[in-house]
Structure 1
Amino acid sequence: MTQTLSARSRAVRTSPTSWSAARGLAAGAVVAGPLFLGAGIVQGLTRDGFDFSRNAISQLALGEAGWIQTVNFLIAGALLIAGAAGLRRALGGGVGGTWGPALTGVFGLSFWAAAAFPADAGAGFPAGAPDTTVISGHGSVHMLAGMVGYLALCAVFVVLARPLAARGHRGWAVASRLMPIAVLAGFMASAASVLAFTTAAGLGLVGLAAVTARLVAVPAGR
């Protein structure tokens, strides 16, 4: 009887309707990173006083037009949480099917926290802000949210390497295990260059999009 129930469970998970719903939700994690980065780059190129070599993308939430970046944070968070739900359906509770989606959800929630607690002004942005950044309470929460979120993302890559390998995507699995090293290296270099931090964050977002897209390309076993 247990084998029968297990077979039925697998059939439900791989049915066309179920798989279509999983892919639809998982698409959130695929588009979240590119959309967030694209919106951030456009704003950074058009906002007075913003300099990618000195300012973090999160600072775009400051100033009169800051609401655009705040909305960008909220949308990205919602897409990542939807993507987490899609990953859970796609993986069906199998290898990586519990912690991968859960940690992706934590990453999404960190974007909402970043929206609620904006970064501090500094390094000349917004226009007229001093070069020296004074850390405030909300700025500290913002940084903590980012740290927790990206540590969760690094863990996601490690966890999702298993289902990638199990589905025969061994090259992707190796890349997924190496991704946290690249992301953390960029963060460590941020003390010398803000651009290194931005690049590392962007790499993590694009990497998650690529890994998710690979996992939901076709149902397991096909």
Structure 2
Amino acid sequence: MSRERALLFGGAWGAGLFVAVVFVNDAVKPGYEPVRDFVSEAAIGAGGWVQIANFVVAGTLLALSGVALARVVGRWTGVLVGVVGVGLIAAGVFVSDPVPQDESAWHGVVHNVVSVMVFAALTGACFTAARWRPTAGWRWYCRVTGVAVPVLFVTAGAVTNTSGFWQRVTIVVGWAWLVVLNLRAAA
């Protein structure tokens, strides 16, 4: 297997693993309500290291796949997926504040800024990848995902009682696209 294919498979695994760990963590973390709480809040308190490690491992695998995607798919797609990966690493390092909070800690502010960058880069990657080996189905999938991710991200921030649910929908839609992109590029 070539180095690029290994990096692409790593990116697919990283995205899929991230989603799997989120859902397992949702089921086992005490006092955590996945319908209400953001994924990042799982990094707070007892057992928080699991979500922190999830951010760092998935982010590393996606950042590395960005190198291969830049060569196989296109420079901008690779750069943007690399930004997603580096952003996930930073989201793990700079732990979120609990929601709601009266005051934000500096690390919570950094976490929030990085989170916006992750979803913005993912959105951009969808549109740049739509031009690569275009078929009607691939273009459609990329464009629909590129529109759905920011709409769902804003929805998650706009609602209170179900924000965690909407964020998870955003993540599943976006990270599934990352799996498909990496696997398509590895083929």
- Would you say same fold, with TM above 0.5? yes
187-196 vs 38-47, which moves further: 187-196
Distance 1:63 1:164 in 2: 45
Q: CA deviation at 1:54?
A: 1.0
Q: Which has the higher contact order (CA 8 A, sep 6+)?
A: 2
One-letter amino acid of the structure 2 residue matched with residue 109 of structure 1: V
Q: CA deviation at 1:174?
A: 1.6
Match for residue 110 of structure 1? 87
Aligned sequence identity (%): 29
Match for residue 207 of structure 1? 177
Q: Of the two, which has the highest radius of gyration?
A: 1
Q: CA deviation at 1:208?
A: 1.2
Distance 1:89 1:184 in 2: 26
Q: Alpha-carbon deviations, 1:24-77, whole Å to 9, x = none?
A: 111122111110111111111111111111101111111121111111111011
CA RMSD of aligned residues (A): 1.4
Unaligned runs of 5+ in 1: 1-16, 92-96, 123-131, 218-222
1:189 is aligned to 2:158: no
Q: CA deviation at 1:205?
A: 0.9
- Matched-pair contact (CA < 8 Å) for 2:63–2:81: yes
Q: Alpha-carbon deviations, 1:146-187, whole Å to 9, x = none?
A: 10111001000100111131xxx3311221012111111111
Match for residue 40 of structure 1? 22
Give the TM-score of the pair, scaled to structure 1. 0.78
One-letter amino acid of the structure 1 residue matched with residue 101 of structure 2: T
Matching of residues 35-184 of structure 1 within 5 Å: 35-91=17-73, 97-122=74-99, 132-134=100-102, 135-165=104-134, 169-184=135-150
- Matched-pair contact (CA < 8 Å) for 1:73–1:112: yes
Q: Which runs of 4+ in 1 moved over 3 A?
A: none
Distance 1:133 1:53 in 2: 18
Give the TM-score of the pair, scaled to structure 2. 0.91
Q: What is the number of equivalent residue pairs in this alignment?
A: 182
Distance 2:173 2:76 in 1: 21
Unaligned runs of 5+ in 2: none
Match for residue 4 of structure 1? none
